[in-house]
């Protein structure tokens, strides 16, 4: 939009890069013709619909910035159409046209999100002024919405940086977990590279690995540190951590569903005997299967309250013997390609630094 005065060509009131298009919805052809002629003279492209149903059909096929709609129509009235539009096409503005006896319903429409209303019979000049005003209001709404989304994005980015630190601190205070997630993310990224996964996927795997055990914050301390064998109940308690982690991180990872899947499903097994859902085979995303191998290798080669670390050779044998049952064979083989010499294992714990957030998987 280039002007704030209520004048000038209507086309200049549309958003930058947007084609100036208006959908005119009215069951009376004469009114449609009058409005379309008026708008076309202003350089606006028009679409016409004789009912709400026809209008929705057009909106499903093409982007329309503004709809001018009658209220009383057969099949689907203007009010229902307005509600559908505000629900499904947030950027499409609606101006309702109403008979002078129906001003009350026009006010209800304003509450439902209509930008403005025009009362029939109308003066063409008045209609133009209303449309300009409506488009101006719409561009302010869009700008505000973009600003809100940007802020929300920054808050989430900041929070995810903090959660990575928290996950690291949680492990740092525990002799048996110290540096675990940092090493897991390093192993997992190396496997991902061997599997020729894209950089964004590897970055998402790294983020998910950093946060995969964050749910341990909700597990009883005495279970995590019990020196002897765990009872079934204690084991179930510990194994709640993927569910807790996914619940805690869910609100922040909406744009990275794979990272969330890593947190929730890293204890699933290929043969369906894992937790929490008993997912089997391909039902476990490949990125998760990669992290499971990395996680298990690091768990085996780390000390536990009830045992010293397993020798690396034993841990590697375990990966091989559980290939195809617990572990994805491709991920295991990729691990062996990435670390062909057992002598470099376990890797030194990298220095903590929050990973930059990967590209969004979902908007
Ligand atoms: Fe875990
Ligand atoms: Fe873990």
Would you state the CATH architecture of domain 10-147? 3-Layer(aba) Sandwich (3.40)
Taking only Cα atoms into account, the Rg of the chain, rounded to an integer number of angstroms, comes to 29
pLDDT at 79: 92
Mean pLDDT, range 170-177, rounded to an integer = 90
* d(CA 242, ligand 1 centre) in Å: 6
Please give the residue that has the higher pLDDT: either 305 or 156: 156
pLDDT grade for 3, boundaries at 50, 70 and 90: very low
Residue 21 tokens read as 């298009």
Average pLDDT, the chain: 93
Kindly report the pTM of this predicted structure. 0.77
Contacts (Cβ under 8 Å, ≥6 apart) of 320: 332
End-to-end Cα, the chain, rounded Å: 25
Name the superfamily (CATH) of residues 174-344.
Hypothetical protein af1432 (1.10.3210.10)
- CA–CA distances in Å: residue 289 to residues 180, 216, 244: 17, 20, 20
Ligand nearest, relative to CA of residue 266: 1
Please give the distance, rounded to the nearest whole angstrom, from the Cα atom of residue 311 to the centre of ligand 2: 18
Distance 190 CA to ligand 2 centre (A): 17
Query: Which is more confident, 296 or 5?
Result: 296
Cα of 165 to ligand 2 centre, how many Å? 16
Torsion from C-alpha of 137, 143, 148, 153, nearest 10 degrees: 160
User: How far, in Å, from the CA of 299 to the mean position of ligand 1?
Assistant: 9
Distance 65 CA to ligand 2 centre (A): 49
Position 320 scores a pLDDT of: 98
CA 22 to centroid of ligand 1, rounded, Å: 54
Distance 239 CA to ligand 1 centre (A): 8
Q: Model confidence at 5, in pLDDT bands (50, 70, 90)?
A: very low
Q: What are phi and psi of 66, to 5 degrees?
A: -135, 135
Higher pLDDT, 180 or 225: 180
Give CA–CA dist 269/271, Å, rounded.
5
pLDDT band at 4 (very low <50, low <70, confident <90, very high): very low
Instruction: Please determine, for residue 175, whether its predicted confidence score (pLDDT) is greater than 90.
Output: no
What distance in angstroms lies between residue 73's CA and the mean position of ligand 1's atoms? 59
Cα(300) to ligand 2 centroid in Å equals 10
Q: What is the distance in A from the centroid of ligand 1 to the CA of 199?
A: 24
Measured distance CA(97)–CA(32) in Å, rounded: 11
314 Cα to the center of ligand 2, angstroms: 19
Residue 363 confidence class, pLDDT cut points 50, 70, 90 = low
Q: Percent of the chain at pLDDT above 70?
A: 98
pLDDT at 293 over 60: yes
171 C-alpha to center of ligand 1: Å?
12
How far away, in angstroms, is 146 Cα from ligand 1 center?
Answer: 37
Break the chain into its structural domains and give their ranges.
10-147, 174-344
């Amino acid at each position: 939009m280039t002007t704030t005065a209520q004048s000038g060509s209507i086309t200049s009131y549309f958003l930058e890069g947007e084609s100036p298009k208006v959908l005119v919805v009215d069951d009376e052809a004469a009114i449609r013709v009058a409005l379309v002629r008026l708008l076309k003279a202003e350089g606006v492209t028009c679409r016409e619909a004789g009912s709400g149903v026809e209008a929705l059909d057009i909106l499903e096929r093409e982007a329309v910035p503004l709809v001018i709609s009658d209220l009383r129509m057969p099949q689907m009235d203007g009010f229902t159409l307005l509600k559908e539009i505000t629900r499904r096409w947030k950027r499409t503005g609606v101006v309702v046209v109403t008979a002078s006896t129906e001003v009350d319903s026009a006010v209800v429409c304003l509450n439902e999100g209509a930008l403005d209303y025009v009362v029939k019979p109308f003066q063409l000049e008045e209609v133009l002024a209303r449309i300009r005003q409506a488009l101006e209001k719409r561009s302010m709404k869009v700008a505000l919405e973009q600003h809100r989304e940007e802020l929300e994005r920054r808050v989430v980015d900041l929070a995810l940086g903090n959660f990575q630190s928290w996950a690291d601190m949680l492990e740092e205070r525990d002799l048996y977990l110290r540096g675990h997630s940092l090493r897991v993310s390093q192993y997992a990224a190396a496997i991902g590279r061997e599997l020729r996964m894209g950089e964004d996927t590897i970055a998402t795997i790294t983020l998910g690995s950093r946060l995969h055990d964050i749910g341990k914050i909700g597990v009883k301390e005495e279970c995590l540190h019990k020196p002897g064998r765990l009872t079934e109940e204690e084991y179930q308690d510990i194994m709640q951590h993927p569910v807790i982690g996914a619940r805690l991180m869910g609100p922040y990872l909406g744009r990275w569903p794979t990272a969330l899947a890593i947190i929730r499903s890293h204890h699933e097994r290929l043969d369906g005997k894992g937790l929490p859902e008993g997912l089997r085979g391909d039902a476990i995303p490949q990125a998760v299967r990669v992290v499971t191998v990395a996680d298990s290798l690091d768990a085996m080669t780390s000390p536990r309250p009830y045992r010293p670390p397993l020798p690396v050779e034993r841990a590697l044998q375990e990966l091989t013997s559980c290939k195809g049952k617990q572990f994805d064979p491709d991920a295991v083989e990729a691990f062996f390609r990435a670390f062909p010499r057992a002598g470099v294992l376990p890797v030194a714990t990298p220095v903590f630094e929050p990973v930059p957030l990967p590209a969004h998987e979902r908007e």
